[in-house]
Amino acid sequence: MHTQAGAHALWKRLGALLVILGLAAPGSFSSLPAIPHGCPHGCICTADLLSCAKQGLRQVPAALPPTATTLDLSHNDLFQLHSRWLAALPRLQALRLSHNRITDLSPQALHNATALRHLDMSSNHLRAVEKHYFEALLRLEELLLYNNWIVRVDEQAFVQLSSLQKLYLSWNNLTQFPFSSMQGLNHPNLTTLDLSTNNLSSIPIEEVAALPAYIQNGLYLHNNPLRCDCALYQMLLQWQQRQLSSVQDFLEEHTCTAFATMARSLVRFLKYRKIFENCSLSQGSPSAPDTHATVLVGDTLLINCNTSTADVSATYMWISPRHEPIVHPGNSNGTLEVYRNGSLKITAAKPWHSGVYACLAIGKHHQLNKMHEVNVTIHYPTLGGESFSTSLTTLLGCAVSLMLVFVYLYLTPCRCCQCSKKAAAPSPPQECSAQSSILSTTPPATDGPSRKISTSRHVVFLEPIKEAHSGKIRLPASEDIPDAKNPKFLQIKSDSESVSSVFSDTPIMS
């Protein structure tokens, strides 16, 4: 027993020694991931990722690894972010703060995130979007603010975000939105502006219609209690006809309130358009003259630079369809003139003036850049005082032709019966209508056995056939037979009493 116990203890000590020697060997920890310096307790840290999601945090951890490019603090109990707390993360590009209880941001809460490109603050308790919230995020591309309590957005909240591509504000309590701040060249990369599922009862049609086409394509307004009117209907109908994604992707979710006092009077007005059947193309659509203009050749056209800017010191410049700048006062030949208020005048319009004109409003310190586009169409004047329908003209021509045919067939004088009285002996029925056989599709018959009749409509004979006094056809004398090398067309002397039958299409039988 003692021998077995001693052997067991010896083997245990030997195993422990082998383990110690193995751990002490070089490279034994090469396969194990190294824990970055300063990783908070309970978080997951890698070379560039720091995830502290679902840790019940009420404050941001004090120690943060400086190598992190992605920081995930979602699904916690954070309610406040202190100033300059991101100073330790100079490489941070993605910050996830969703599903917390953040109600406000201090003036310098995000000022050190100069490299930040993605910010998710969805599902928090934000009540407004102030000017100082995101003004330092010059490289920000995606901003998620959906599912908050936001009731107001400052007009200057997103002006500095020139790199912004996607902005999500759905599922909030917005009653209005500063669309004028999104016009022009402030956001050249913006492709998604989601304002769906809010409390928007009306939108400024003129400001929305003045937005660039790439913003309209991603401007989602569905699931809002918008009041039904012709202006809204015409704008969204034009978007649908242009196949814009903002309308096509949510066609049935675009609703409007038919009666303001009845919350249940929602109508899917892009699917059931009967209530808008009295809306004309121009009624209630103030955006039509601002984005499209039509003028006749030689007339004068004045178009406004609808940039919705209140800067009285702003200067204006138009870009012609040929990509040429037009500034005040205008071009050298005087056909294009720019006024101080930004209006463009086209004098003596010509066909080459057609195209899309873009107006740029530039602020005093080159900080205000807004753009508005107008599609100009040049038409030629209509020739003549009246324009007839093509089908009516064709029908009238057919009736006149048919009447002339009846007159020609039944009212043409013919005295073939008198021709038969002059004949001493009975003659073939074609003798009195020799002239009619000239235009007939069937060639005339002859008495000469040696003469053959061609079945062709165009027949050429050798010599004119002379007519006898008895009305019969006789062959010419031998001295009158011409050389075969010099053929002539058939010439038949017509009876003075049957001249009118020359133009008959059918031989008249006597």
Looking at every residue in the chain, the average pLDDT score rounds to 74
Read off the pLDDT band of 408 (50, 70, 90). confident
If DSSP codes are grouped into helix, strand and coil, which group holds residue 143?
strand
Distance CA 152, CA 126 (A): 10
Neighbour tally for 495: CB within 10 Å: 20
pTM: 0.54
Q: In what order do the strands lie in the sheet with 344-346?
A: 301-303, 344-346, 336-338
Q: Residue 394: pLDDT band by 50, 70, 90 thresholds?
A: low
The CA-CA-CA angle for residues 100, 105, 111, to 5°, reads: 115
Q: What is the pLDDT of residue 341?
A: 77
The pLDDT of residue 317 is 83
pLDDT tier at 275, thresholds 50, 70, 90? low
Residue type, 364: K
Q: How far is Cα 58 from Cα 99, in angstroms, rounded to an integer? A: 12
Share of the chain above pLDDT 90, in %: 27
Condensed to tens digits (0 to 9), the pLDDT of residues 182-229 reads: 887 778 899 999 999 999 999 999 889 888 888 999 999 999 999 888
- Count Cα atoms within 13 angstroms, Cβ side, for 276: 28
Confidence of residue 263 (pLDDT cuts 50, 70, 90): low
The phi-psi region of residue 468 (left if phi > 0; otherwise alpha if psi is between -120 and 50; otherwise beta) is beta
Pairing of strands 301-303, 315-319: unpaired
Residue 468 identity (one-letter amino acid):
A
Residue 333 pLDDT more than 80?
no
| Phi and psi based region of residue 38 (left: phi greater than 0; alpha: psi -120 to 50; beta: remaining) | left
Which residues 6+ apart lie within 8 Å of 259 measured at CB? 265
User: Taking a C-beta distance cutoff of 8 angstroms, is the pair 306, 210 a contact?
Assistant: yes
246 phi/psi in degrees, rounded to 5: -60, -25
Please report which confidence band the pLDDT of residue 340 belongs to, taking 50, 70 and 90 as the band edges.
confident
C-alpha pair distances (Å), 298 with each of 319, 336, 346, 384: 21, 13, 10, 17
418 phi/psi in degrees, rounded to 5: -70, -30
Q: What is the dihedral of CA 204, 206, 210, 214, to 10 degrees?
A: 50
| Res 177: pLDDT | 96
What does the block give as tokens for 369?
């850049």
Numbered ranges of CATH 2.60.40.10 in the chain: 288-379
The answer to whether the beta carbons of residues 419 and 495 sit under 8 Å apart is yes
CB atoms within 10 A of CB 499: 12
Amino acid present at 271 = K
Q: Is the confidence at residue 437, as pLDDT, over 70?
A: no
What's at 427, amino acid-wise? S
Of the options 1.20.140.10, 2.60.40.10, 1.10.10.10, 2.40.50.140, the CATH number for the domain spanning 288-379 = 2.60.40.10
**pLDDT of residue 83 exceeding 60:** yes
CA distance 372 to 308: 9
DSSP 326: E
Neighbouring-strand partners of residue 153: 129
Note the pLDDT of residue 126.
Answer: 97
| Whole-angstrom distance, CA of residue 260 vs CA of residue 426 | 101
At residue 392, the pLDDT reads 55
- pLDDT of 24 reads 44
Cα–Cα separations (whole angstroms), residue 146 to 53, 120, 193, 198, 314 = 19, 9, 11, 10, 35
Q: Which two tokens stand for residue 4?
A: 């077995």
The set of residues, in sequence order, having a beta carbon less than 8 Å from that of 371 and lying 6+ positions away, is 183, 184, 185, 212, 307, 358, 359, 360, 361
The pLDDT tens digits of the residues spanning 42-64 come to 899 988 999 999 999 999 988 88
Comparing 353 with 413, the larger pLDDT belongs to: 353
Look at 343 and 60; give whichever has higher pLDDT. Answer: 60
Instruction: Return the pLDDT at 264.
Output: 58
pLDDT tens sequence across 457-500: 444 434 444 444 444 444 444 444 444 444 444 344 444 444 44
In single-letter form, the type of residue at position 387 comes to S
Q: Which of 271, 206, 193 is nearest to 235 (CA)?
A: 206
